[in-house]
Chain A
Amino acid sequence: MSVFDAFRHRLRPLLRRRAFDREMDEEFRHHLELRAQEFPEGDDPAARARARLGSPAYYMEETRRMTALAWLDALGQDLRYAWRNLRRSPAFTTVAVASLAIGIGANSAIFSLIYSLLLNPLAVSHPSRLFEVRHTGLEQRGDAFSYAEYQSLRQSRGFTSLTAFDGADDVQVVAGGVHTSVNVDAVDGNFFSTIGIAPLRGRLIGPDDERGRAPVVVISDDRWAEWFNRSPAALGSTITLRGAAFTVVGVAPKSYQGLRLPGSFDAAVPLSALPLVGGAPTEAAGANAATLTIVGRLASPADAPRAAGMIDAVYQSCCAQAPAGTGAAGTREVVGVGLASLERGISSSKFDVYAMFSRILFELMGAAAAVLLAACANLGTLLLARAAARERELAVRLSLGASRRRLAAQMLVESAVLAALGGVAGLGLADWALRLIAHRLPGPVVDRVGLQLTGDVLGFTAAVAVAAVLLFGVLPAWRATRTNLIAPLNEVGRPTTARRGGWLDRSVVVAQVAIALVLVNGAGLFVATLRNLRNVDGGFATERSVSTEVDARGTAYESTGIAGFADRLMARVARIPGVRSAALSEMVPVFGGRRIGADIAVEGYTPSQDERMEGWFDPVTPGFFATLGIGLRTGRDFSPSDRTGQQVAIVNQAFVQQYLRGRNPLGATIRSAWDADTVVMQVVGVVGDARYMDLRDPAPPMIYVPLAQFEQIPGSAHIPVLTLTVRTSGDDGATAAPLRKAVQAEAPGLGVYGPETIEESLNDSLNRETLTAELATLFGAVALILAAIGLYGVVSYRVAQRTWEIGVRMALGAAPASVVWMVLKQALALVTIGVVVGAPLAFGGGKAIAATLFGLAGQNQYFVLGAGVLLAGVAVAASALPARRAARVDPLIALRAD
């Protein structure tokens, strides 16, 4: 008989309880009959046999006790008992479950975010075996390789397969009547087989497509839904990518979101078809062709060092010395290639979700953990109070022979029931919270957000709930086992002045106050950061302007440029009612745009040895500064006549500070290099500084140039995407629709994206800070409420215990005011200790989150102080009711109660 059989034997009565009892009964009857045969006939042998065997109930119970049934019976009893107990005090149960739900829910929600954004492995087969080939060396050249390098590296052994992909962003798509733009991946023929996904519909891109340069496309499940309403007819139909027709051959599974994080897989075409959608031809060797990401699959993750050695050897012989580096200077330091795990995807440098969110997510996780701690502390005090109230009951049961272990188990079961209820409610709360949070996350991230009830998230929630039980349930259980048998039984409602063991609940309340101090301080800091950022003078007008992106790619205007009809467009826009001025530009503060950079030299400025002078250019139409509310400091604005002749430029004050300090900026010349051409521009004006992408960053040195002149610089490509901004005289939101119409009337087919008021752009740019401030405030408020409940509990308990003493005091002439003060004093003393304990923690917390704060250096102490004052106020409010009760004690009644 194996151990397993023995175990199964022990479980047998659980699974087939009735059969177990019946068999036992049959066995005993058989025994009795045989035994009865020993006794002489006529002497009632059956009765004698029964007498000999003893009480059947007893030995049946004893037999059962040998099985797991006994343990389960006890557990069932405890569960029923706990359930009855909890139902009998609905107020307690509600508070307990609600505070646990908030604590557990907050943790689950934040963990779920962290999991889906940062920890979730790629949805491909065996992601741990996927590796990205990366450059190693003094200066990391990043992950890009040329096609020639890729072809050479393919000869490396050690990989199950090696593949590469590239991509083109913002490709204009016409599909099923929908005009939009998406990111298109361009993948080698063995890409999908290497990463290991299967098509949801149709087929994926294969080697034949790559060889044949087939204009075929695989789309994502989301795009299938958006463009074709998930119709099977999508397969074989044609969509247009940047004007070129592609045949849809398959749909990728929903779980596949590309290899980059955050994922936003829309469509994939063969690598050889990339030029059709605007990418560089893949065979082109040389400077700017290093755009491929190379991905390899290994038989086992353990092979990585060996494979890295092999591919580096190939790289050394083929490519390390080749002039295949990027065009910029100083890339010779690249010494080799290595492998980086792709298990959690490539963190895209353009939109680095790790950098953007990991910090605040872990900060919020810490806050959520503190909330849970506060909730557990709260529950701990509540349970202790209940245990105190049940002291007599426990003492009675102990004296009647209940084992202390059994009583402790019962208390733990009660805690576990609470934790289970809190956990389930917490999951619901987390789901709801995540939906709210999703609104604050940037577009590409939102798709991945949602409560994913995966094993990891459920496991985490369960672990949190168990930790909670251990935190708050063990104390009362331990306390129960230490119940003094004699004292509670003798003490028939005797009023006391001093209470035994009161230190325990008081120190828990102190801990709660300390936690609340930390969280309220954090909330204050985050809210102040948001306020500071909102109050930052960005250097542009923050109301009554609307911006929209105008996209000429894939249209007839792409080759001629938008500048060609800019004047006509501006004239048409100016006729829209409510528009006071309008301008086109490449970039607009907070709204966005693309950054144009070029090497520059400023006359009269000598760069330091290592300084690389790169200027940011923003081509704009006349009236841009007035439209954006950027002040002209000196000189003149651009005029319509700045079209031919001398190239002119307007710089901002940051530019003057850096390159033209102490000189008259007007008339200074700036040389800029556009491929082979050098353009000399003359500064004709200086404008105020405007912040662009991030309000935290000071304005960069900027060079504004007339759009009409910029388009004529030979080396500067036509700008296919521009931002149109209008200043309105009234309601800016009402201008959005006419604006879109005006653009499309002037130039049919142009893409017009997101007319957005400056207010909306500002809010979007502060989404992350808003989310942090909102969550931190919520956490702080919860911690405050929990501290208030804890304080109320302790204070009112003390008042109830001291009723007799208060009665004596009042009988001896104490004024109600002094009684009230006596009660308040207790609460304030607890808060003071809590603040003293919590202050260093709050300072530490403030230091830990310093990197996410803005404009608050050296101000933390005010926030700690403010939080302390707030807590004192909460203490007064929480003890108001018990204090009133104390002041109303009638000495006669209180003393007679004895």
Chain B
Amino acid sequence: MTPKPKSRTELLAGTVDLLILQTLTLGRLHGYAIARHIEHSSEEVLRMEQGSLYPALERLQSKGWVTSAWAKSPTGRRARYYTITASGRKRLGQKISAFDELSLAISRVLGRA
């Protein structure tokens, strides 16, 4: 097995988690809906595909922050729906404040705060 070029995913991993967890505070969503919501609310700037969404969901589940279950979608098809857990919400809170700190620091460096 050759090592994957990790730098990109690692850099984004924290942010991807943050976006997914935040999105899931809206309620139970399937993967496409999560991707769609992130694209939509970022005005199509952030694109949640290219193989980062599902690995991220898998990782969040293995950490216990997200659970999933199969259910009927409005179109009548079976779909996997993801839900944020209590510990996921706690984690989201931490992530948001960490992100706020970071963006504030960057803004200060850029002389905008």
Residues of A within 8 A of B (CB): 1-3, 5-6, 9-10, 23-24, 26-28, 30-31, 34-35, 52-55, 58-59, 62-63, 65-67, 73-74, 77, 400-403, 406
Asked whether B51 lies within 8 Å of A67 as measured between CB atoms, the reply is: no
Measured CB to CB, the nearest residue on chain B to A77 is B1
B85/A30 in contact, CB under 8 A: no
Asked if B59 and A66 sit within 8 Å, CB to CB, the answer is: yes
Among the stretches B75-83, B92-100, B102-110, the one at the interface with A is: B75-83
Smallest Cβ-Cβ distance to A59: which chain B residue: B51
Given contacts A31-B31, A401-B2, contact A1 B85 (CB under 8 A): yes
Q: A62 contacts which chain B residues (CB < 8 A)?
A: 4, 51-52, 54-55
Contact B2 A59, beta carbon cutoff 8 Å = no
Out of A58, A73, A74, A403, name the residue touching B51 (CB < 8 Å).
A58
Interface residues of B in 1-45 (CB under 8 A from A): 1-4, 30-32, 35-36
Whether B2 contacts A402 by the Cβ 8 Å rule is: yes
Q: How far is the CA of A173 from the CA of B4 in the complex (A)?
A: 80
Residue of B nearest to A53 (CB): B49
Q: Is B62 a contact partner of A6 (Cβ separation < 8 A)?
A: yes
Residue B58 at the chain A interface, CB threshold 8 Å: yes
Q: Which A-B residue pairs are the 5 nearest by beta carbons? A: A59-B51, A6-B64, A66-B58, A62-B55, A10-B62
Which A residues are CB-close (under 8 A) to B87?
A: 1
Chain B positions within 8 Å of A3 at CB level = 64
Distance from B39 Cβ to chain A, minimum over Cβ atoms (Å):
10
B63 within 8 A of A: yes
Known contacts being A27-B79, A54-B51, A402-B2, is A2 close to B30, with CB within 8 Å? no
How far is A401 from B2 in the complex, measured between Cα atoms in Å? Answer: 6
Residue from the list A24, A30, A54 in contact with B30, Cβ < 8 A: A30
Residues of B within 8 A of A54 (CB): 49-51
A403, B3: Cβ atoms closer than 8 Å: yes
- Check A30/B77 contact, CB under 8 A, given A2-B64, A54-B50: yes
Known: A23-B80, A62-B52. 7 other contacts (CB 8 A): A2-B64, A10-B62, A27-B80, A53-B49, A59-B52, A66-B59, A66-B62
Nearest chain-A residue to B87 (Cβ)? A1
The answer for the CA separation of A379 and B4 in the assembled complex, in Å, is 35
Selected from A2, A23, A63, A74, the residue in CB contact (under 8 A) with B1 is: A74
Q: Check A6–B54 contact: CB distance below 8 A.
A: no
List residues of chain A with CB within 8 A of the CB of B78: 26, 30
In the complex, what distance in Å separates the CA atom of A382 from the CA atom of B43? 63
Q: List 7 A-B contacts (CB under 8 A).
A: A27-B31, A27-B80, A31-B31, A63-B54, A65-B4, A66-B55, A402-B3
The answer to whether A63 touches B64 (Cβ under 8 A) is no
Contact status B59-A35, CB under 8 Å: no
Question: Would you call A6 and B61 a contact (CB within 8 A)?
Answer: yes
Judging by beta carbons under 8 Å apart, are A35 and B55 in contact?
Answer: no
Q: Which residues of B contact A2 (CB under 8 A)?
A: 64
B2 touches A400 (CB 8 A): yes
Q: Are A67 and B58 in contact (CB under 8 A)?
A: yes
Question: In the complex, what residues of B have CB within 8 A of residue A67's CB?
Answer: 58, 62
Q: Which residues of chain B are within 8 angstroms of A28 by Cβ–Cβ distance?
A: 54
By a CB distance below 8 angstroms, the chain A residues around B61 are: 6, 9
For B36, what are the chain A residues with a Cβ–Cβ distance below 8 Å? 34
Partner of B55, one of A1, A52, A59, A73: A59
Distance in Å from the Cβ of B50 to the closest Cβ of chain A?
Answer: 5
Which residue of chain A is the closest to B61 with respect to CB atoms?
A: A9
Considering only CB atoms, which chain A residue lies closest to B3 in the complex? Answer: A403
User: Whole-angstrom distance between the alpha carbons of A24 and B61 in the complex?
Assistant: 14
- Residues in A with CB closer than 8 Å to B63 are 6
In the complex, what distance in Å separates the CA atom of A58 from the CA atom of B53? Answer: 12
CB-contact partner of B3 in A9, A24, A66, A401, under 8 A: A401
Q: Nearest Cβ in chain B — how far from A74, in angstroms? A: 6
- Distance in angstroms between the alpha carbons of A351 and B2 in the assembled complex: 66
A461 to B2, CA, bound (A): 36
**Contact call A63/B58, Cβ cutoff below 8 A:** yes
A65: B residues at CB distance < 8 A? 4, 55
Residues of B contacting A27 in the complex (Cβ-Cβ under 8 angstroms):
30-31, 54, 79-80
Residues of A near B54 (CB, < 8 A) are: 24, 27-28, 59, 62-63
Q: Which residues of B contact A58 (CB under 8 A)?
A: 51
Instruction: Kindly state the separation between the CA atoms of A289 and B85 in the bound complex, as whole angstroms.
Output: 76
- Give Cα A822 to B32, complex, Å: 76
* Cβ–Cβ contact B51 & A30, under 8 A: no
A67 to B63, CA, bound (A): 11
A-side contacts of B64, CB under 8 Å: 1-3, 5-6, 9
